[in-house]
Every structure is written in structure tokens, then in C-alpha cells.
Structure 1
Amino acid sequence: MAAKAIRRRIRDVGVDEGRDEDEETSVSDTLNEPLLEKHNQYDGYSELKYRTRKQDITDGRKGKCQCWTYFLSQSISHWAHWIANVVFGFRALVRRFFHQPTTGHQIKGEKRISIILNPLQEERLGNLRQRLDVPFNSSSVNHQDALRELWKLAYPNRELPSLKSELWKEMGWQGSDPSTDFRAGGFMSLENLIYLAKNYPNSFWRLLHKQDGRRAAWEYPFAVAGVNITHMLIQMLDLQSGNRTSRSGSYFLKLLEEDEMAFDMLYCVAFQILDIQWLEKRATYMEFNEILKSTRVQLEQELSLEGISSIKDLPSYKLLSV
């Protein structure tokens, strides 16, 4: 009954609910100021005026008093112009120095927040970033062993295939060599799948074998979907954007302070949400990206709820089974 209630709650949440529309000025917009163009026009005009005035003086049509007045005004104008250049140049330099460029994956209109990390958050975020920076290396013995471990967790009673075998397709890899599918999520996406299998084996089993609900004739591939979920979470949480992050990223940092494995746990929740939304919308393979986006929206909404102090407080966490 609890699981059904949660499913209804997920279905009722509007996927297209609007985000904060406070857009930030991009780097190109900030630096695209026509100051140089204006200065060039001003300089040309001053030069023409100077030459005309100088010629007038040479011809004797102006008096000595006017000559001194002219040179005094020219000096004042020159220094005012110089000071303006210094001020504008300094302002532009400050903007360029302090402006943080937005990441390529930022959603247009999504508000970004400057945050100050406490020592524990900084340490754990640093560890997480080190993990996500590790690509899958098919030549690494540790990475090969991790891939074999995933097979044993998925098919404990079956013989372990070679690292290149058509049997890997049964797990949801796109080809006979799983190492070619890790580009989006790196080695951490394999760690996430192993974490799901070890900590929520029942959910892992049901997701892998598509045991819940009425399935589509053309299902999403389990393993590749897992890699895409890792990539989606990295984007959603702005894990590579320095000290300016999305609202979801700032909420997540509080949860990371409570549990160092918050990312892996959130991954498990995300996978479960994705499968439920897949069933609710009766989606097929070609609609996978749409379901992944709606999964992201659902996670963002749950992270923003009041009273969420850990991943286990998220409503969808209750859908996972050990």
C-alpha cells in the first residue's frame, strides 16, 4: 500500500512545473560592451577638433587668451578621458576575474547559488569529484575486476564471460564490449551499479530483470540506463562547477555532509523513479531521454522539500527494497 501511495504521488507531481527564471548574464554578454567603439569615435572627434583649433591659432584668428583657454580645456579633456579609461578598464577586469562561467550543461534560466563549504563538505565533495574524474580504463585490472563483480552480482549462478562477449548484451550493454559504454559516466557509473546491487539487491534484481509492471516490447537497456543516470546526476548537482551551483546542488551538499555515500544512494533512488515513470507513462526505448528528464525534475522537487536532512527522507527512497 505504501509503495502504491508513493507511485501516485510521483505521478501527480507536474513534470513541467516551472523553474526559477532568474537568468544570469553570460561571460560573452558581460564582456560585449561597446566601450572601445565609443572611445575610438571620441578620439577621432577630438583629433579633428584639435587639428582645426590648432590651424585657427596658427592663422592668427584667435587671441593669446583663447589659445591658453584651449590648451587648458584640452588638458582637462585628456585627463578626464584617461581616468574614464582606467575606471572602465578596472570594472571590466573585476568582472572577468570574479565572473564564473556557466557550465555547458546548465539549464537556461536555472538560478545558480554561491555557497561556502564547511571543512567536512569540502572534503567529501573533493572525494566525490575525484571519483567522477576517473574514466573507465579497460586496461586497468581494478576496473576489469569491478566489471566481473557486477556480473557475479547480476548472475550469481552463471559462468563469468570474457570481458568481450555477446553475453554482456543481456545486462543491457550496447555491444559485446561494455567498456565502450562508460564515456558519459566514467568508472563511477560502474561503482554506482555495484552499490545498487550490494545495498538494495532486491531492487537491483527487479530493475535488471524488469519484473515490475507491464513492460514495453522495446525496453530500455538496464546497464546503459545506469550510466546515463550517473551522468544526469552529475549535471543536476553541478558537481564540477566550483563554488556556484544550482539549488539542487546546494541541497545535495547538506545531505552529503550527513552521509558520504549520499550520491550513490541518490543514484539508487533515481533508478527506481526512472523505472516507475517508465511504467506509468508506458514509454518505449525512443522515449528514454524524456523519462530521464522527468526523473530529474522529480528528484529536484524532492530535494527541495522541507524536512529533508538525508537521502532516506526523500519520499521515493521508500520505493527501494533491500
Structure 2
Amino acid sequence: MPTKAIRRRQYHGEIDDSKDEHLNIYQSDSLRETLLAEHDFKDKSTEDSSQKGQWKIWDKKRREPFCLTYLSQLVNNCIRWIASIVVTSGSLLGRLLCPQSTNQSRKYDKQILLPFSPLQEERLQYLKQRMNVSFDISRVDHQDALKQLWKLAYPQRELPPLKSEKWKEMGWQGADPSTDFRSGGFLSLENLIFFAKHYPDSFQRLLHKRDGRRSEFEYPFTAAGINISFMLTQMLGLQPDGQETKVGNHFLELLELDEMAFDHLYCVAFQLLDTHWLSKHATYMEFNEILKSTLAELEKELLLERVFKIADLPAYRLLNR
């Protein structure tokens, strides 16, 4: 049975010539803004020079002796547990212990935000370090990562040059994929590779648009993935100007249990976006609206009391159909 050909819209210049216009789910509702646009993402790379040329997910080495680290975490967790009991009791002592509840910058958050544990702080800083790495096509490890994504996406096809019209088939907005990374940085490429390696069935379904009745003008797969990476960091308050929120703090609890929680959450978000896309019979011009509704639902799921790990999210089951 022949495969249905899906027509994809040309991504440059047909909607809006402004490539730097922000796609911000919390500030803009205009459907006339550049869809899947590159965000104004400055080069904030703060990598240590000793890490250049290396592409790794997590450094297992600890800077403190194990017993000292464990004791510190144990004491900190006890303090947080006691504080949570006192605060929820509404006592005067609770208000004295947690004066941040009256901070005007957190007036939107009804839940007291407790201090981070040492492990949470460590993993949060590492995630932010990953966010600060800009994609650099001159780096061999970044070139290798891009080539790895192609091989995972098309294992039976020949690897094209780093600049080729064939990259558009994967959903890049031009023949040079490196021009699409300004919003998500190298983290967004890591997210795509993680998706392809850990959830290959879902990755292939979304890449090849195999589920449901597709739109005449489909969203470009990889460009959408870069937007998802960036918007998740906004939702969780991970950007430099982000505020500490209840959903962000709860995510840190998940990160404490799983150092790759952000990458798993990314995969859930991508699959959930495609599910919303199909259920609403959306078209290319509605991508921003679908992205907003996807992240709004994901935020609600992250705040459910029964969610202790990413696999507990109701939307996680979509990845294992």
C-alpha cells in the first residue's frame, strides 16, 4: 500500500520575515507570529575548557566524599520534612521559618517553596550547564551528534553532507541544520537523540507522521523539537530570568530521583503535542496554539499528587502504545 505523501510548507519567508521573533506561550497569542521561529538565544556558553571536545550526559564523579554528601542530604531532607509539616499547620512558627510565603514575587504560588537538597542543586546546575552550551558546527563532537541523529532517524540511508537539502526531510528549516539551534542550543539536539534512542517507536512514528489523519501542511519534526526544548525550560523556570514556581520545584523533586528527568519529560511533551495535533485536526498555522495547550496540560500533570517520577505522568503511557 503506497505511503501517503505529506506536503510540507516552506518554512522561510512565507509567514513572517522576522526570524528572531519570540514564540512565547506566556506572552503572545498572535497566530501571525513566526511559527517555529528561532528565539533570541544569546551565546551563553560557560563550559569549562577541560570539557571541550567531550559530549557526555552526566559526570558521575562527586566532589565530596560519599559519607559527607549522604549525611548532608539526610540532614537537609529532615529539615525540609519538618518545615513542610510546620508550614502546612499554619502556625506562627511555620510563618517564621518560611517567610518567603509572603514574598510578592511568589504571590501566584499557593504552596510553600522549600530549600533545595544538595543533590537537587547539583543536578539543577548541571542541567543549566547543558542549557548554556550553544550549538557550534565547528566542533567535531557537535558534528558527530548531528550525524548520530541522522543515523538514528534513517538507519538505512546514506549520511548526507552537513549542508544538504536532504536535511529538510527531517524537518530542519533549511539545508543547514546548524542555523536552527539558536533557541534550543546543543541541549535540543541532545533531547532529540535521547528521544530516538530511548523511545525509538514513538520517535519514528512522529518523524514519519504515521499516526492518524495528517494535515496537508504538517509541522516540521526537528524544528518543533527545538521549540519544545526551549519552551520546557521556560515552563520550569530554568531560564536566567525565570521565577521559582511550584511546578518548577516539583520537577526538581523528580530530577533528584532521575538525573535524566528533563530528557524523559521532553519525550512525553513531544508525543503529547502530536496527540493534541491529531485530536484537534490542526494545521501548520495552529502550531503555537497546540504547543500552548500541550504545555498547559503537562504542567497540570506535573502537579498531580501521585506523580513521583516522569513515568507516573498520565501522558507517559502515550510513549508506550
Q: Deviations for 1:19-63, whole angstroms, at most 9, x for unmatched residues?
A: xxxxxxxxxxxxxxxxxxxxxxxxxxxxxxxxxxxxxxxxxxxxx
* Residue 275 of structure 2: aligned partner: 276
Q: Tell me, what secondary structure is at the counterpart of 1:245?
A: coil
Q: CA RMSD in A?
A: 2.0
* Residue 251 of structure 1: aligned partner: 250
1:194 maps to a residue whose letter is I
Q: Tell me, what secondary structure is at the counterpart of 2:311?
A: helix
Deviation at 1:252, TM superposition (A): 0.3
Q: Deviations for 1:276-314, whole angstroms, at most 9, x for unmatched residues?
A: 000000101111011000011010110011111000000
Q: Percent identity of the aligned residues?
A: 64
> In 2, Cα distance between the equivalents of 1:244 and 1:212?
37
Q: Deviations for 1:160-212, whole angstroms, at most 9, x for unmatched residues?
A: 00000000000000000000001111000000000000000000000000000
- Counterpart contact for 1:192–1:264, Cα < 8 Å: yes
- Counterpart contact for 1:115–1:244, Cα < 8 Å: no
- Counterpart contact for 1:114–1:244, Cα < 8 Å: no
> In 2, Cα distance between the equivalents of 1:142 and 1:168?
19
* Residue 222 of structure 2: aligned partner: 223
Q: 1:100 to 1:118 in 2, by over 3 A?
A: farther
Question: Which runs of 4 or more aligned residues in structure 1 lie more than 6 Å from their structure 2 counterparts after TM superposition?
Answer: 99-102
Q: 1:146 to 1:318 in 2, by over 3 A?
A: same
Normalising by structure 1, report the TM-score.
0.65
Q: 1:173 to 1:243 in 2, by over 3 A?
A: closer
Aligned length: 218
Deviation at 1:258, TM superposition (A): 0.8
The unaligned stretches of length 5 or more in structure 2 are 1-102
Deviation at 1:240, TM superposition (A): 3.2
Q: 1:115 to 1:240 in 2, by over 3 A?
A: farther
> In 2, Cα distance between the equivalents of 1:290 and 1:135?
27
* Residue 262 of structure 2: aligned partner: 263
* Residue 122 of structure 1: aligned partner: 121
Which structure shows the bigger proportion of residues in helix conformation?
Answer: 1
* Residue 180 of structure 1: aligned partner: 179
> In 2, Cα distance between the equivalents of 1:151 and 1:280?
29
- Counterpart contact for 2:188–2:226, Cα < 8 Å: yes
> In 2, Cα distance between the equivalents of 1:110 and 1:171?
40
Q: Tell me, what secondary structure is at the counterpart of 1:175?
A: coil
Q: Deviations for 1:91-149, whole angstroms, at most 9, x for unmatched residues?
A: xxxxxxxx8989xxxxxx85496441101101100110000010100111000000000
> In 1, Cα distance between the equivalents of 2:206 and 2:190?
17
> In 1, Cα distance between the equivalents of 2:208 and 2:104?
44
Q: Tell me, what secondary structure is at the counterpart of 1:220?
A: coil
Q: 1:220 to 1:243 in 2, by over 3 A?
A: closer
Is 1:285 aligned to residue 292 of structure 2? no
Normalising by structure 2, report the TM-score.
0.65
> In 2, Cα distance between the equivalents of 1:306 and 1:320?
21
Deviation at 1:318, TM superposition (A): 0.8
* Residue 144 of structure 1: aligned partner: 143
Deviation at 1:243, TM superposition (A): 9.5
Deviation at 1:225, TM superposition (A): 0.3
* Residue 155 of structure 1: aligned partner: 154
- Counterpart contact for 1:219–1:284, Cα < 8 Å: yes
* Residue 88 of structure 2: aligned partner: none
> In 1, Cα distance between the equivalents of 2:137 and 2:302?
35
1:266 maps to a residue whose letter is L
Q: Tell me, what secondary structure is at the counterpart of 2:320?
A: coil
Q: 1:244 to 1:116 in 2, by over 3 A?
A: farther
Where does 1:1-322 land on structure 2 (aligned, <5 Å)?
110-111=108-109, 114-241=113-240, 244-321=243-320
Q: 1:192 to 1:100 in 2, by over 3 A?
A: farther
- Counterpart contact for 2:234–2:242, Cα < 8 Å: no
2:158 maps to a residue whose letter is E
- Counterpart contact for 1:114–1:243, Cα < 8 Å: no
- Counterpart contact for 2:269–2:294, Cα < 8 Å: yes
The structure number with the bigger radius of gyration is: 1
